[in-house]
Structure 1
Amino acid sequence: MFDWLVVGAGFAGSVIAERLASQRGESVLVVDRRNHVGGNAYDRYDDAGLLIHQYGPHIFHTNSEQIVDYLSQFTEWRPYEHRVLASVDGQLLPIPINRTTINKLYGLNLTTEEEVEAFLAERGERIEEIRTSADVVLSRVGRDLYEKFFRGYTRKQWGLDPSELDKQVTARVPTRANEDDRYFTDSFQAMPAGGFTRMFERMLSHPNIKVMLQTDFRDIRDVIPHRRVVFTGPVDEYFDFRFGKLPYRSLQFEHVTLEEEWHQPVAVVNYPQDRDYTRITEYKHLTGQQHPKTSITYEYPSDIGDPYYPVPREENQELYRQYKHLADATPNVHFIGRLATYRYYNMDQVVGQALAEFRRIQESIPVGAEVRQPEAV
């Protein structure tokens, strides 16, 4: 009899499993369909001996000291500030758009933030109510920059036009009037020194934790006795798609090793205008690894494959709310993580959500408390 069955060995599942085991002294079984821990943050050494991210680049950044302190129990850090270039009109230009982007693209010499703001204000479209991703960008930077940097990339990434997506999609990408070319501005930006997988392995190494990989929750839920469940998979799947499937966007990856030391000037280059892929990632920039060869990944968005991104449209949120009502009414099952709460989270936000859920468990459930097994819903 396990005290807890945790479904999923990504950030949400691993963090809460570690807390339950180390802080409450309870027994935890972690199951995952994949053959590795770490979820989408899993990294591995390829045949050339280069550390790559199996499911595309994962860059850790946060403003939370609490989250840094927690994860630092399981890893040392390599400082790293992420920079991204976009291939636009034959040039590699900083994204998010900043003063350098505008000057290089239009052959200008804007020198102050006020000049940049005036340039953007002159081109921004007047939109009465900001409702969609297109509205966000058009009102801020105007039609030309929208077409060059955002529309094509968004259509590839989501399979939808920005006018069909909630405003949160492009609101996540700022436009800057200065020359700051960092993709993120968080106070803490770093990569796990030994890689994400090593961090997860340490997190799950507690003697009260047992991990079963290549294991489907459905196959063992009625076989292995347990008192409570933490579910981090797709919430619609847990309820057998009772109201229909929640839409997710997936990704396909092509990993390639090249006989050259470096392939591109930064870790990630976006391709908003041409090519079938959205971006190319070169991992040595992230890891600091020294190697005569380099490994890169081409990223292709898709409707087929593992669920990665909840599709941000109001009708999808309405469908999710039906599943959330079921989830809230399901005894002894806790739903956390990106898939279980149908929301896009950065890695630090998932860690924060898992730590917050653990605090709620601490406050409401006595250690070792007996429960009746929840009925299948």
Structure 2
Amino acid sequence: MKKILIVGAGFSGAVIANTLAKTGKYSIDVIDERNHIGGNCHTERDPETNVMVHQYGPHIFHTSNEKVWQYVNSFGVFRPFVNRVKSIYMGQVYSLPINLHTINQFYGKAFGPEEAKNWIKSKGDSSIDDPKTFEDQAKKFVGEELYKAFFYGYTKKQWGTEPRNLPASILKRLPVRFNYDDNYYNDIYQGIPEEGYSAIIQKMLDHPNIKIQLEKRFLGESDQSSEYDHIFYTGPIDAYFSFRHGRLGYRTVYFKEHRTEGDFQGNPVINYADEKVPYTRVHEHKHFTPWESHPKTIYFEEYSKETDENDIPYYPKRLDEDMKILKAYELEVSRLSNVTFLGRLATYRYLDMHHIIEEALDCAEKFINKQS
């Protein structure tokens, strides 16, 4: 059997391990520096309330890729779940993404779809032909008023800078719907695993050819071992190379935990768009499992900050200086023949769970075919 090392026990590492193990041709060691599997998707029950908590913030699985959907469902039951986010601005609660109800409520109107389209078009800044910044992108499509209400304060808190300093690519799609659809995602399949994400990943890793070692740190290029035929690395790309070209920029988040009786906010996620409110959103985790009943509740205020060396990186900033540093690291990666970099941190991209799983499945299949 060929020996494989997988660094990271999140979805990327677990999918690679599971796919390779099932061939019967590989002996696989999975290591992770944390004391649990699952990476940032880790879930566990709060001992006081018995609520299933997403320990690193809310994760709702959504995809239009049937192969990915069938794959994750082979490891557990995914209950249907539609994410309906609310936003509080100046003491009023609005529906997100911006939709026909949001527009009518915000402007005190009763528009139909075509009336709303024309209204928003009249509000948009037509002088912006090719938006280069986040601020220009938002103003072009929804105008100054909706931008200030739902994007300006929230974005400034999340990224720690004025939105005019951020690239337009962060606001990828037209941030408005002209119907009453308040489903946060557009994907065909949407759900949350009945027993949490860690249970799904545990089943992926539950194979006699897979050994897991937690609380074990991988030291990157200085930690190479001749005992392994190949390494799949899902940690930070800059850490692998001991930061010799510099550190890539990330934002991270931290949470303030609260418990109370009953129901705190009546919704899984509520954004706080006002700049003066220090946190970006509040998530109440009992609402991610509406099929369960809990007399007590646990909720979290989420704060955003710059990432230092002791923080868990969440969102790659991908500013111009970051991309220059990334190119230097990618050149280093291209020279390696026995290490594969995959996942959010190792490729310095923001990826949803379904993207990570799809890429890992494809990567594992190509690796197996190449070895045949």
> Which TM bucket (shorter chain)?
over 0.9
In the alignment, structure 1 residue 335 sits paired with structure 2 residue 341:
yes
Please give the secondary structure, in 1, of the residue aligned with 2:244.
Answer: coil
Does residue 191 of the first structure (1) align with residue 197 of the second (2)?
no
After TM superposition, what 4+ stretches of structure 1 lie above 6 angstroms from structure 2?
none
Query: 1:315 Cα deviation (Å)?
Result: 2.7
219, 228, 231: which one aligns with 1:229 = 231
Deviation digits for residues 256-289 of structure 1, max 9, x if unmatched? 2212x21113210000103111000011111122
Residue type of the alignment partner of 2:87:
A
**Which residue of structure 1 aligns with residue 22 of structure 2?**
22
State the SS of the aligned residue for 1:252.
Answer: strand
2:122 is paired with a residue whose SS is helix
1:300 lines up with 2:303 in the alignment: yes
Mark the runs of 5 or more structure 2 residues left unpaired by the alignment. Answer: none
Is 1:345 aligned with 2:346? no
Q: Match of 1:107? A: 108
Distance 2:174 2:206 in 1: 37
2:38 aligned partner: 38
Return closer, same or farther for 1:217/1:2 CA change in 2, 3 Å cut-off: farther
- Report how far residue 173 of structure 1 moved: 6.6
Deviation of 1:73 (Å): 1.5
RMSD: 1.6
The one-letter code of the counterpart of 1:26 is: Y
**Matching residue of 1:91:** 92
Secondary structure in 2 matching 1:18: helix
2:27 pairs with 1:4: no
SS of equivalent to 2:59 = coil
Indicate how the Cα distance of structure 1 residues 173 and 265 shifts in structure 2: closer, same or farther if over 3 A, else same.
farther
Preserved contact between residue 249 and residue 318 of structure 2 (Cα < 8 Å): no
CA distance, structure 1, for counterparts of residue 328 and residue 87 of structure 2: 39
Per the alignment, do residues 72 and 23 of structure 1 end up closer, same or farther by CA in structure 2, a change over 3 Å counting? farther
Confirm or deny: 8 A CA contact 1:133 1:171 kept in the other structure. no
User: Structure 2 CA distance, aligned partners of 1:136 and 1:108?
Assistant: 25
Structure 2 CA distance for partners of 1:190 and 1:158, relative to 1, 3 Å:
same
Structure 2 contact 141–174 (Cα < 8 Å) conserved:
no
Secondary structure, aligned partner of 1:182: coil
Q: Is the 8 A contact 2:142 2:175 kept in 1?
A: no
CA distance in 2, matches of 1:73, 1:345: 22
Task: Assess if the C-alpha contact under 8 Å between 1:20 and 1:358 holds in 2.
Answer: yes
Tell me the SS of whatever aligns to 1:285. Answer: helix
State the one-letter code of the partner of 1:313. L
Matches of 2:81 and 2:352, distance apart in 1: 17
Where does structure 1 lack aligned partners over 5 or more consecutive residues?
367-377
| Cross-structure match for 2:161 | 160
- Distance of 2:282 and 2:95 partners within structure 1: 15
Total equivalences in the alignment: 364
Question: How many Å separate the matches in 1 of 2:297 and 2:61?
Answer: 22
Residue of structure 2 equivalent to 1:66: 67
Preserved contact between residue 169 and residue 312 of structure 1 (Cα < 8 Å): no
Question: 3-state SS of the aligned residue for 1:142?
Answer: helix
CA–CA separation in structure 2 for the residues paired with 1:173 and 1:21: 42
Q: CA deviation at 1:104?
A: 1.1
Structure 1 counterpart of 2:138: 137
The answer on whether the counterparts of 1:166 and 1:314 sit within 8 Å (CA) in structure 2 is: no
The CA distance in 2 between the partners of 1:357 and 1:132, in whole Å, is: 34
Deviation at 1:352, TM superposition (A): 0.6
Inter-partner Cα distance in structure 2 for 1:154 and 1:307: 17
Question: Is contact 1:18–1:203 with CA below 8 Å preserved after alignment?
Answer: yes
Task: Report the 3-state secondary structure (helix = DSSP H, G, I; strand = E; otherwise coil) of the residue aligned with 1:198.
Answer: helix
In the superposition, the TM-score normalised over structure 1's length comes to: 0.93
